[in-house]
Structure 1
Amino acid sequence: MIGLVDCNNFYVSCERVFNPKLERRPVGVLSNNDGCIIARSNEIKSLGVEMGTPAFQLPPDIRRQCVLLSSNYTLYGDMSRRVTNTLADFTPDVEIYSIDESFLGFDGFARDKLEEHCQRMRHVVRRNTGIPVSAGLSTSRTLAKVANKLAKKSAAYEGVCMLEPDAANTRHILERTPVEDLWGVARRTGARLADMGIHSAWELRQADPRCMRRQFSVVMERTVWELRGVDCIETDDIARPKQNIMTSRSFGRLTGYKTDLREAIRVHASRGAEKLRRQGSVARAIMVFLQTNRHRLDLAQYNPSLVVQLPRPTDDSRIIVNAAQRALDEMYLPGYAFMKVGVMMMDLADKATLQLDLLDTPQSDADRERNERLMAIMDKINREYGRDTVSVGKAKRDSAWKLRCQHRTPRYTTRWDELPIVTMR
C-alpha cells in the first residue's frame, strides 16, 4: 500500500503552532514582500478570499476580520523537516513530494491494521510538531491522492481514508471525481478528455490505455493504470502547473563530496528553471533537499531540507541556481554519503497574469527584458545543440537578498535570538 500524507493548511498551521490565538481566526499568508495571499485558513476561505488576492484589494470589512502574515519560509521549511522526520518513525519509505506532502510506502504492513497505524501516526505528528495531517491510502499514488482529498474534506474519515481499487465505494467516488481533479491532469487536458466523452475519473479508468497514450502521452496511459490500482507513476513524471516543480535523481554511486553535491544541485536547479519557463510560470521560493540511503543501516543518516525565499517571483536560472547553492552551503555536513539531491520550485504563479508587486526587489523594465531574452536564447541553444550546451556557472557566495517582510513572525525553530519566550503568571 502507498500513503499520501498532506499537512492541512500547512503555512497557517505552522503559524498557529506558536500562536494559538490564531486558531479559528481567518488567517492569510502573504507572498514575497507582503504582496498577495498565497495560503489561507479555512476561516478566510469561508469569507470568500481567493488564492492570489492582492492584500491591498481586500475590502475593509474583510480586512478587519483577517490576520495577514508575511511568508516565513525558514520556519515552514524547518517544520516540514520535523514532520517528515516523524513520519519516518512509522515507515522507512518516505518520499518527499512537496513542502507539505510526502508519499509513504507500507510494503509488508498488515493491511487490516494500516488505518489504525496511520491514525496513530497522525496523533504523533500532531503531538510532536503541532501540525494536523491527513492520510490517503491505496495501491497507487493517484488513488492515494484521491483518498487523501477525501480524508481532508470529509469528517467521516477522521483524517485517514483507504481506497481499495476494486471496491464498490471506490467506483462511486471515482464516478463523482472530475478528471481535472486528478493528479497530473491539467485543465486543458481535461477539456480534451471531455471532448472525447470522458468527464469523470471512473470514465478515464475505463478508457483504453494504449489509446490514451496515442492521444496524450505515456503519463496519461499510466494514469489509467493508476486508477485501476497499478502503481506505475513516479513523482518526477508529474508536472504540477501553478503548484510546484520537483527535479531530482538518485546518484550512480554514493558521495559525500561537496563538489559533487554542488554540481548536482546546480543541474537540478537549472532544470527546474527550464521547466518553469516551459510552462510559463515563476517561483517565489525553492526547497533543496539531500538524502542518504535509508536502506544502508551501516551508514550514518542525514536527510536535511531547506526552503529559500527568492527576491521576487522569477524563472531566471541564475537567481534560482544561486539560491539553491546557498541552501547547500547552509545544510552540508561532512561525514555523510548521499545518494540523492533534489530542488523544488515552490509557490508558482502564472507569469503572464502575475500582478507585479511594487514592494518586490526592484528590477527595471530594461533589466527584465534583457534577462528574459538571455533565458530565451539559452533555452533555444540547449534545444538545438543539446542539453547543457549553455549552463549557469558557479553561484556567487556574496549575494545578499534583503526582502521586506513587515508581518513575518519569528523563525522560532532555527534562530537562537528568535526562540519563543514563556512567561509565568
Structure 2
Amino acid sequence: MQEPKPCFALVDCNSFYASCERVFRPDLARVPIVVLSNNDGCVVARSADAKPFIKMGEPYFQIREKLVQHGIVAFSSNYALYGDLSQRVMTVIDSLVVNSTAYSIDEAFCDLGGMTLPLERLGRQIRSKVLRYTGIPVGVGIAGTKTLAKLANHAAKRWQRQTGGVVDITDSVRRDKLLKVCDVSDVWGIGRKMTEHLTGMGINTAWDLAKADPWTLRKRFSVLVEKTARELQGVPCLEMDEINSPKQEICCSRMFGTRLTAIEPLREAVAAYAARACEKLRAQNSLCKKVRVSIRTAMFNPDEPKFARGVICELPYPTDDTRVITKAAVAALSELFQEGFKFSKAEILLMDLRQPNEFTADLFAPAQSKGDGRVMHVLDEINAKWGRGTLRTGRVPVTPEWNMRRELKSPSFTTRLDELWTVR
C-alpha cells in the first residue's frame, strides 16, 4: 500500500490580539482596533480596518489624535485573555486533525497526510468551527510543504473575499500560479535584508526562488535558504518537530510602569522575570548554565543621566530550578546597581541552554537533585491550574509598584472571576 503524500495546513488567526478584544465586545465588530505594547508604548497589533491609518510600531503618545480622528479604539495588551483564547483555538484545531503543532500564540501547523475528507472542505470546517466555538476568525493554507502552506495562508488572508479564507495549493498548477504572483518577500523566512540580496540576483518572486539552484543558494547564503527553495518546489524539508525546536536562549524583559531608583523594587522585578524565564525553560525541557542580568535607564531623555550595564553569572550546575536562578540573578544585580539613576527596564537572559542529557557532568561537581526537579514540576502544575503567580518566590510581591502601565486594558473575561463577562 502506497504511503499518502505529505500534506500540511497552517491555521493562522486574523489580527489575533484585535480579534480577541472583539470576542466579548460585539459593539466593536465594525470598529477599527489597535493593541499597544507593554506600558502602552507603541502599536503591536492592528485590525484590518485600522491598517490603512496606523503603522505597526507607532508610539501611542504620537498618534492619539489620529486615533480619535479615524474612530480607532486602542487597548492595552491583555496577555491573560490572549493566552486563554489561544489555548481554546488550539483545542478546537486539535479536535479536527490527527496531529497539530502550535507555532506561535496565533498559528498552528497541522499534518493532514492520510486524511480522507476533501482538503478544502476540511479547511472550511476548521475555519467555521474555530469561529463558532471561540469567536476568532482564522485563515487556512493547505499545501504539500510547510513553507507552501504558509504562503497559501498568506494568500487566503490577502484575497479573503475571493478565497473565503481557505487556499489549497496541493495541485501543482494552482501552486505555480500562486508562486508567480507572490513577491519573494512574502515567503516564510525571507526577511528584508535577504530580500535585497535575492532581488540583486534577479530573484523577485516566489517562483524565481523556487526555480533557483538550491546548492548555489546554500553556498551563497545558508542551508535554511536552500531548504526554503526546495520546499517551494514541493519537497518537504521541515519535520513537524523542527518547527518548535528548543530555543538556544530565553529572555524575559519588561519596561517598568514607573522609574525605579531603589534596589529593592529592582530585586523584585529581577526575581519576577527570572521566574517567568524559568517557566519557559522547563516548558522546553532544557537546563541553563549561565544567566545574564542587565538593567538600564531610559535612553532618549536628554535631561536624565544614562546607565546601561549587564553581567553574566555562572550557575553552580545546569538547572531549571527557579530558586537557584533567582538567587544568582539577584546577587548579580547587587554588582550592577548604582545610586542616582532612574531605571526603566531590567532583563534576564538564560544562556548555555541544553537538554538534560547534553551536559557532560563532572563526577565531583554538584548537580540538581531529582527532588528539586519534582518541586519545580509541582510548582508549574499548580500555577497552570490556578493561574500564574499562585505560587511564587518570596521576593515577588502580589502588586508590585513597578508593574507595567496598562491604562486601556480590557477585563480578563475568561481568567478572573471578578472580571467575568456580564450581560445587562
Please say if residues 94 and 102 of structure 1, whose CA atoms lie closer than 8 Å, have aligned partners that are also in contact: yes
Which of 125, 147, 150 is 1:142 aligned to?
Answer: 147
Alignment of 1:62-141 (within 5 A): 62-64=67-69, 65-110=71-116, 113-141=118-146
Superposed CA offset, 1:80-126 (max 9, x none): 00000000111131101010000001111136x11112211211111
Q: Secondary structure at the match of 2:127?
A: helix
Task: Give the distance between the partners of 1:323 and 1:247, measured in 2 at CA.
Answer: 19
2:276 partner letter: A
Compared with structure 1, are the counterparts of its residues 327 and 212 closer, same or farther at alpha carbon in structure 2 (3 Å cutoff)? closer
| Structure 1 vs Structure 2 CA RMSD | 3.7
TM-score normalised by structure 2 residue count: 0.67
Q: Give the 5 Å matches for 1:336-351.
A: none
- Matched letter for residue 272 of structure 1: I
Aligned to 1:369: 309
Q: State which of 32, 36, 40 in structure 1 corresponds to 2:42.
A: 36
Q: Is 1:182 aligned with 2:122?
A: no
For 1:170 and 1:211, the matched residues in 2 are separated by 23
- Verify the 8 A CA contact 1:219 1:237 in the aligned structure 2: no
- Return the alpha-carbon distance in structure 1 between the equivalents of residues 240 and 299 of structure 2: 31
Aligned to 2:276, which of 323, 348, 372?
323
> What is the CA distance between 1:173 and its match in structure 2?
1.8
Paired AA for residue 119 in structure 1: R
Matching of residues 198-237 of structure 1 within 5 Å: 198-234=203-239
**Residue correspondence of structure 1 range 172-321 to structure 2 within 5 A:** 172-234=177-239, 248=246, 268=247, 271-273=249-251, 310-311=254-255, 321=274
Deviation at 1:199, TM superposition (A): 1.3
Over 3 Å counting, the alpha-carbon distance change for 1:190 and 1:61 in structure 2 is: closer
User: What percentage of aligned pairs have identical amino acids?
Assistant: 36
Cα distance change, pair 202–318 in 1 and its aligned pair in 2 (3 A): farther
Q: Is the radius of gyration larger for structure 1 or structure 2?
A: 2
Change (3 A) 1:388 1:369: farther
For the pair 1:399 / 2:396, whether they are aligned, the reply is yes
In structure 2, the residue corresponding to 1:94 is in which secondary structure? Answer: strand
Asked if the contact 1:382/1:388 (under 8 Å) is kept, the reply is no
Distance 1:410 1:62, change over 3 A: closer
Query: Offset at 1:139?
Result: 0.4
**What is the rounded CA distance, in whole Å, between the counterparts of 1:38 and 1:247 in structure 2?**
25
- Partner residue, 2:32: 26
CA gap of 1:132–1:405, structure 2 versus 1, over 3 A, is same
Q: Using the alignment, how far apart are the partners of 2:147 and 2:286 within structure 1?
A: 22
Aligned to 2:410: 409
Amino acid at match of 1:104: C
Q: Structure 2 counterpart of 1:71, which letter?
A: S
- Amino acid of the residue matched to residue 324 of structure 1? A
3-state DSSP of counterpart to 1:164: coil
Q: 1:57 aligns with which of 62, 66, 84?
A: 62
What letter corresponds to residue 146 of structure 1 in structure 2? Answer: L
Question: Which amino acid counterpart does residue 182 of structure 1 have in structure 2?
Answer: V
TM-score, length-normalised on structure 1? 0.67
How many angstroms apart in 2 are the aligned matches of 1:320 and 1:92? 36
2:76/2:409 contact within 8 Å kept: yes
What is the CA distance between 1:312 and its match in structure 2?
Answer: 5.7
Residue identity matched to 2:88 = R
Query: Offset at 1:326?
Result: 5.0
- Check 1:63–1:318 CA distance in 2 against 1; reply closer, same or farther (3 A cut): same
What is the rounded CA distance, in whole Å, between the counterparts of 1:166 and 1:68 in structure 2? Answer: 43
Q: Which runs of 5 or more structure 1 residues have no equivalent in the other structure?
A: 239-245, 249-267, 274-282, 285-309, 330-337, 344-354
Paired with 1:137 and 1:317, the residues of 2 have a C-alpha distance of: 43
Q: Is the partner of 2:410 in helix, strand or coil?
A: coil
